[in-house]
């Protein structure tokens, strides 16, 4: 009922200490509602996969099914060719890090990290030695005697990571683990988790609704909507050539303009809402569009160039706002038909003379334009 084609994993340079995962025709229904609808996904040993999507897209349900906290309605989950679909979570040997750190406040940091080993019956000396090693891996060596309330949010999240890796799981599952941190801490932890992944070679499935987080961290990103995978691939591929309108709008900023296809040949001719006709390279067409069909033209705000350039289409925009954004300026305006257009222009010197209400001219490089069949609505 859902996606029927397996998506093969990209090669990974990580040491293959983790496990491979195959998710086959996975479905999870809650009454008549499909939370996950026929998802197929192959994950290579040692790969870092991000599941990205809005609330209700099915990403957390997939993760919980892999973890064993949810059992699917149908389909299978294999880890290193072992069928774990209905195996209890405590028998899967998978690490889990949640959004909330779930540390025991009455225990020392060392005992928190060693707790999974205690549950596995390891002697105290051995579990404390392994807990110290795990704390050193997350750069918290020497913190073992402290209590959770003596640590910052970022340090507590590192403790949660240490606890998840202390028993050397085959797979590390992470459910929005950074969303409770402030921006700077979140960015630091993104780099820390990337370093940890490279060092351990563990397989990681990372759930997030933050597209910048996914772009920064993952080897591949699976974009989900309504329980189905919309696109999966490396960050550059998803950003530069989204497979459909949903991915184009969800991953990064994008300008959209409704157009009509007038001709298809060596060039694709489209008519804009205010009557102009633009000639686009055939590579612009992500979906095959036919003559007379409605389509949507898409371009990233940072690809627009202020002024007229040597190559590209030219458009005039009535500015409504100019926003200083540090390394760049955000220009917001209206196209002749009233459609909003945004441009991110590096530097500020060339913008000194512009003000809201002015008409600015932009060049749109042909190679920056993507064309999708259908409409935005």
Whether residues 263 and 321 fall in one domain? yes
Q: pLDDT tens digits, the chain, 377 residues: what are they?
A: 344 333 434 433 333 479 999 999 999 999 999 999 999 999 999 999 999 999 999 999 999 999 999 999 999 999 999 999 999 998 998 999 988 878 999 999 999 999 999 988 999 999 999 999 999 999 999 999 999 999 988 899 899 999 999 988 999 999 998 887 888 888 888 988 998 899 899 999 999 999 989 999 999 999 999 999 999 999 999 999 999 999 999 999 999 999 999 999 899 999 999 999 999 999 899 987 789 999 999 999 999 998 887 678 999 999 999 988 777 889 999 999 999 999 998 876 566 778 999 999 999 999 999 999 988 76
Report the 10 Å Cβ neighbour count for 346. 9
Nearest to 314 by CA among 303, 323, 305: 305
Longest dimension (CA), the chain: 78
Same domain, 352 and 267: yes
Same domain (yes/no): 67, 215: yes
Kindly state whether residue 2 falls inside one of the protein's structural domains.
no
Q: Are residues 274 and 340 in the same domain?
A: yes
Q: Are residues 275 and 315 in the same domain?
A: yes
Domains contained in the chain, number: 2
Sequence length of the chain is 377
DSSP code of 180? T
- Contact (CB, 8 A) for 188 and 154: yes
Three-state DSSP class for residue 160: helix
**Phi-psi group of 247: left, alpha or beta (phi > 0 → left; psi -120 to 50 → alpha; rest → beta):** alpha
Instruction: Give the predicted TM-score (pTM) of the model.
Output: 0.88
Inside any domain, residue 236:
yes
CATH of the domain at 206: 3.40.50.300
Give the domain range for residue 271. 253-373
Specify whether the backbone of 227 is left (phi greater than 0), alpha (psi in -120 to 50) or beta: left
Q: CA 178 from chain center: how many Å?
A: 13
The proportion of the chain whose per-residue pLDDT surpasses 90, expressed as a percent, equals 72
- 285 with 235, same domain: the answer is no
Last residue of a domain, one of 190, 213, 248: 248
In a domain, 10, yes or no: no
Task: Verify that 257 and 238 share a domain, yes or no.
Answer: no
CA dihedral angle for residue 238, residue 240, residue 242, residue 245, rounded to 10 degrees: 130
The domain boundary residue, chosen from 248, 271, 300: 248
In a shared domain, residues 228 and 265 = no
CB within 8 A of 207, min separation 6: which ones?
50, 51, 59, 60, 63, 174, 175, 176
**CATH code for the domain of 368:** 2.40.50.100
Residue 42 shares a structural domain with residue 60: yes
In 65-131, which ranges are E strands? 74-79, 82-83, 94-97
Q: Is the domain of 239 the same as that of 298?
A: no
The reply to whether 237 and 259 lie within a common domain is: no
**Same domain flag for 270 and 303:** yes
């Amino acid at each position: 009922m859902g996606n029927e084609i397996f998506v093969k994993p990209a090669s990974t340079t990580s040491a293959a200490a983790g496990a491979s995962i195959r998710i086959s025709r996975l479905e999870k229904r809650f009454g008549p509602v499909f939370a996950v609808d026929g998802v197929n996904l192959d994950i290579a040993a040692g790969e870092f996969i991000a599941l990205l999507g809005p609330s209700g897209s099915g990403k957390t349900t997939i993760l919980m099914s892999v973890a064993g906290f949810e059992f699917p309605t149908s389909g299978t989950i294999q880890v290193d060719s072992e069928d774990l679909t209905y195996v209890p979570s405590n028998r899967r040997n998978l690490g889990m890090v949640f959004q909330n750190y779930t540390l025991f406040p009455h225990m020392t940091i060392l005992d928190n990290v060693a707790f999974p080993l205690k549950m596995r019956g390891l002697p105290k000396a051995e579990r404390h030695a392994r807990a110290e090693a795990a704390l050193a891996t997350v750069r918290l060596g020497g913190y073992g005697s402290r209590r959770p309330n003596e640590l910052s949010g970022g340090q507590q999240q590192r403790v949660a990571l240490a606890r998840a890796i202390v028993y050397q799981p085959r797979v590390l599952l992470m459910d929005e683990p950074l969303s409770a941190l402030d921006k700077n801490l979140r960015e630091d932890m993104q780099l820390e988790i990337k370093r940890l992944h490279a060092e351990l070679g563990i397989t990681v499935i990372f759930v997030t609704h933050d597209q910048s987080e996914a772009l920064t961290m993952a080897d591949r990103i699976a974009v989900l909507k309504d329980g189905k995978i919309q696109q999966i691939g490396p960050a550059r591929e998803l950003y530069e050539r989204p497979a459909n309108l949903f991915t184009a709008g969800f991953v990064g900023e994008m300008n959209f303009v409704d157009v009509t296809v007038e001709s298809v040949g060596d060039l694709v001719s489209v008519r804009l809402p205010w009557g102009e006709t633009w000639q686009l390279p055939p590579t612009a067409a992500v979906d095959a569009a036919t003559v007379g069909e409605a389509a949507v033209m898409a371009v990233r705000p940072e690809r627009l160039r202020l002024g007229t350039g040597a190559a590209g289409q030219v458009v005039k925009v009535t500015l409504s706002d100019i926003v200083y954004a540090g390394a760049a300026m955000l220009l917001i305006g209206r196209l002749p038909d009233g459609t909003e257009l945004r441009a991110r222009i590096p530097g500020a010197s060339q913008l000194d003379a512009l003000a809201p209400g002015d008409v600015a001219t932009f060049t749109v490089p042909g190679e920056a334009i993507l064309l999708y069949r259908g409409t935005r609505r």
